[in-house]
A and B are shown apart, each in its own frame.
Chain A
Amino acid sequence: MNGWYEAIFVNPWPWWAGGLVIGLLVPLLYYTENTALGVSTGYGSILKALLPRTHLSWLNSKTFADGPGWRLFFLGGMVVGAFVSARLSGRPLTTPEMGLFTATVSWTPLALVAFFGMGGFLLGLGARVAGGCTSGHSIHGIANLHTSSLVATIGFLATGILTTFLVRVFILGGGA
């Protein structure tokens, strides 16, 4: 029994276990709430919560008719779930590290905030223009054989590969 607890709650999961659980969320969300798996629209819910009296038409569309609503609970649940995961595996409460990136460069905090903030900005803008992100398009959409989701995912991967190549060569000093 102890081995099972360790495998699920303490140790990292193998790729197939993560794929299994994440994939099952697609039918589970339809079965429970008739809702498509997706995250990026939830950032509109955050805006709606921050700007309840906004005149922007997208934030007054029927997507946000119930106010900030359930999407905030889904996004909040994701933060909590990862928090629990990190606690159970005994990680530090906070860390300034970001893997290979902060292990390689020695940037000031301001430069890091600007760089990752720019990355986030493009994630937010791009996901809305494309109509979804990795969860809504790449997992939910392709699982339901939606052409637009395949096209969006080709876009994500194409520039993701190109950008990471440039980051590797020009910032992290890896060979071309």
Chain B
Amino acid sequence: MMQRKLTFLVLGGIFGFALSRVGASEYDLIYGMFTGTDLTLAWVMITAILIGHVGMLALNGFGGTTRRGEKITVKAKPLRPLTIVGGGIMGIGWGLSGACPGTVLAQLGEGKVIALATTAGLILGTYVYARLVDRESWPESRG
């Protein structure tokens, strides 16, 4: 169990380090991606998707098992009408804050004080979701 947590700590550390190094935590680069004036982060994402895809093909080519020999299970998230609605809501937040749920953590680590407000908002937004899915009127029984 401790080894598992350590693995997540180290891989999270690499993720945060990479996001910071490549400038994904910079407001101006997010702004540039969405205004089309600086596509650095779009290229980062496209490269990451391609490398991730090739890496998964390689992993499957080597038998599709984890380091402990378990079968790897990749589950797609369900496609529902709310997928595009939620995507649209999150995009507004991305445009307003200049961060996404991952890069705001890199902003925090870099000492960007305003990221504290973004993070507090994120926790509150997640809480409101947890309240909403408990209501009878929520369009889907399960989130």
Contact = CB atoms under 8 A, between A and B. Distances in A.
Interface of chain B, main secondary structure? helix
B110 A85 contact: yes
Given A27-B59, A163-B96, A167-B95, A149 B76 contact: yes
Contacts of B120: 117, 120
A19 B46 contact: yes
A69 B123 CA distance: 17
A105 B58 CA distance: 48
A145 B53 contact: yes
Interface of chain A, main secondary structure? helix
Interface of B: 4-28, 30-31, 34-35, 40-41, 43-56, 58-59, 66-67, 70, 72-80, 82-115, 117-131, 133-134, 143
23 contacts: A15-B22, A22-B15, A22-B18, A33-B7, A39-B101, A39-B102, A74-B8, A81-B14, A83-B109, A84-B17, A85-B109, A113-B114, A116-B115, A116-B118, A121-B122, A125-B89, A129-B90, A139-B52, A143-B56, A152-B83, A155-B86, A159-B92, A161-B35
